[in-house]
Amino acid sequence: MRVKNFTDIKSLLFGNKTVRQTIFKNTFWLSIGMGTNKILGFLLLIYAARILGATEYGKFSFALAFISLFGIFQDLGLTAIVTREFAKETKVPEEEKKEREEFHSLISLEILLSVIAFFLILFGSFFITPESDIRKAILILAVYSSMNSMIAFFCSFFQARQKMEYQASPIIIQAALAAVLGIFFLFRFPSVVNLSYAYLLASVAGLIFIWILFNIKMFSLKISWRGSVWRKFLLMSWPVALMGLFGVLYNYIDSVMMGYWGMIVETGWYNAAYRIIFVVLIPMGLFSGSFYPVLSKFFRESKEQLQRVWNYQMQVMILLALPLTVGGIVLAPRLIYFFYPFSFSPSILALQILMVMAGLVFIYRPLLDVLIASNQQKSTFWITFSGALINILLNLFLIPKYRLYGASIATVVTYIIIISISVWLMVKLTSIRIPFLKFLSYFGAASLSSALMYFIIIQPKIYNLNILLSVTIGASVYFLCLFFLKTIVKPIYKSLFIEPV
C-alpha cells in the first residue's frame, strides 16, 4: 500500500484493507503498546534491583513468580478462545446481538474466576513462605494480577477484531503509571511491599481506562450471568487453560522452587537475567499477536492462505531468532554490567544459557499459534503437560546442585522437547506442511549473517563500545548481510522473501 497523504496514513494505521497491511498495522500498534509496556516494566525492575539489592529483589521476584502460577485460574484460557471465536466480521444484526450477549456473560465469568484465584493465592501464601513482607507483597500482587487479567480479557476482543490500535493506549497508560509510581515509591519508601502497591494502582487505572474505551469504541458493557455461555466457552478453553497452567509452571516454577528452598539471592540473580530475556522476546510477542488473529481467520476461510501466512510468520521468527541468540550470548557480560551492579555478575552465565531458550521460543510460538488457531487446543495440552513434567523433574535434580544455572539448563531442555512434540502434532493434526528446503534457506541465510555479525562484535573496538552502540552495529551488520544475500544470491533471495499474501 502506497502512502501519499494523511488519508493514506490513516488508512494504513487504522483500517483493515489487505492481509499484509492489517498485519503491519497490528504489529505497529502492538509495538507501541506492548513495546512500551515491556520496556518501561523492564526499566522499573532494573531500578528496583539497583535500589533494593539482590536479596530484596529476590523477594519481589519470588512473590511475582508465585502469583504467576495462579494466573491461569483468573482466565482459564478464555482470552485465546475469545480472540479466535470473535475473529470474524459480523454483518447480520442478530449475530451482533448474540455476540454482545455472549461477551457480557463472559465478563461475569472472568470476574468470578479472578475472585476464586485470589482466594487460592491467599490460601497458598501461608504455606509458601513464613516471611510477612513477602506474604503481603503476594496478596497485593494477587489483586494486581486480577486487574491485569481483566485488561487482557478486553484486549482479546480488540485482537479478534484486529483493532490493536484500541488496546495500545490503556497498556501505555498502565505501564507509564507503574513506572512513575514505582520509581517514586522506591526513591522515597524503598520496600518490596511499596513496589507492589505501585503495580496495583497502575493496573486499577488501566482497567478503568479500557472499560471506558471499550464502551466508546465497541459497544456498551454490562454484566450478565448465563450458564450456557459459560459452558460453551469453558468446553473450548479448558485445554488452553491446562496448557497455560503447565506453561506457567515451566516458566515460573524454578523461581518458586529456589525461593521456597531459601535461595532468595539466587532468585534475584536468576530473575535479573530473565528480565533481559523478556525484552529480547518482545519482537516475538508483537509478531505473534499480529499473526494469530489472521491465522484464526484463514483457518475458517482458506487453507492455502493459512499455509502462506504461517510460512511468513515462521520466516520472520527464524530471521530474528538466530541474531538475537548469538548476539545475546556474546554481549551477555556487557548487558548485565550495563543494567545491574557488579554484585549481579553470577547472572551472566544464566543469561547466556537463557538466550538459547529465547531463540527456541521464537521457533516454538508459530507452532503453538497455528495449533490453537486450528482448534487443536486439546492436543496442545499434551505439549505443555510434557514440558511442565520434564521441567519440574529437571529442576528437582539440577537446582540443588547447580542453583540458578541448573534452572536455566532445565528451561532450555524443556523447550527443545516441546518444540519436537509441537512439530509432530502440527503435521499430524493440521493442514500445515513444513517447507523444509525453504526454511533451510532461511536458516542458512540467518546463520551466515549471524556469523558475520559475531566476528564483528567480538572485535575489542566494537565490543567495548557502549552496549547500545554495540547492539546497533551488530544488528546493522546482520541486516546488511541479509540484503547482500537478497541482491546477490538469487536462489536464496527467492526462498527468503516470500511472495505477498
Q: What is the pLDDT of residues 219-228, one digit of tens each?
A: 777 887 887 8
Domain range for 70 is 23-434
Contact call for residues 254 and 395 (beta carbons, < 8 A) = yes
pLDDT of residue 153: 86
Do 441 and 309 reside in the same domain of the chain? no
Q: What's the number of domains the chain is made of? A: 2
Q: Which of 434, 451, 474 is the last residue of a domain?
A: 434
Residue 32: pLDDT above 50? Answer: yes
Residue percentage of the chain with pLDDT more than 70: 88
pLDDT of residue 3: 47
The answer to the question of residue 15 being in a domain is: no
Report d(CA 388, CA 410) in Å as an integer: 11
Do 45 and 59 reside in the same domain of the chain? yes
Report d(CA 139, CA 193) in Å as an integer: 10
pLDDT in tens, 303-314: 888 888 888 889
Report d(CA 107, CA 34) in Å as an integer: 23
The answer to the question of residue 8 being in a domain is: no
Do 383 and 456 reside in the same domain of the chain? no
Do 448 and 322 reside in the same domain of the chain? no
Do 408 and 444 reside in the same domain of the chain? no
pLDDT of residue 26: 66
The answer to the question of residue 163 being in a domain is: yes
Do 428 and 466 reside in the same domain of the chain? no
The answer to the question of residue 2 being in a domain is: no
Q: Which of 227, 232, 10 is nearest to 108 (CA)?
A: 227
Contact call for residues 176 and 141 (beta carbons, < 8 A) = no
pLDDT in tens, 237-262: 777 777 777 767 777 888 889 988 88
- Confidence at 469, pLDDT banded by 50, 70, 90: very high
The answer to the question of residue 303 being in a domain is: yes
Do 171 and 80 reside in the same domain of the chain? yes
Do 429 and 463 reside in the same domain of the chain? no
Q: What are phi and psi of 228, to 5 degrees?
A: -65, -35
Residue 472: pLDDT above 90? Answer: yes
Residue percentage of the chain with pLDDT more than 90: 31
Do 123 and 259 reside in the same domain of the chain? yes
Contact call for residues 23 and 287 (beta carbons, < 8 A) = no
Do 352 and 496 reside in the same domain of the chain? no
The answer to the question of residue 32 being in a domain is: yes
Per-residue cell: 41? 516494566
**Residue 256: CB partners within 8 Å, gap ≥ 6?**
62, 65, 66, 69, 128
pLDDT of residue 31: 72
Do 43 and 156 reside in the same domain of the chain? yes
Contact call for residues 159 and 292 (beta carbons, < 8 A) = yes
Report d(CA 273, CA 352) in Å as an integer: 9
Do 241 and 325 reside in the same domain of the chain? yes
pLDDT in tens, 326-373: 999 999 999 999 989 888 999 999 999 999 999 999 999 999 888 888
The answer to the question of residue 13 being in a domain is: no
Q: Which residue has the cell 554481549?
A: 331
The answer to the question of residue 10 being in a domain is: no
Q: In 10 A of CB 225, how many CB atoms?
A: 12
Q: In 10 A of CB 271, how many CB atoms?
A: 29
Q: Which of 399, 434, 469 is the last residue of a domain?
A: 434
pTM for the predicted model, two decimal places: 0.75
pLDDT of residue 23: 65
Q: Which of 391, 417, 434 is the last residue of a domain?
A: 434
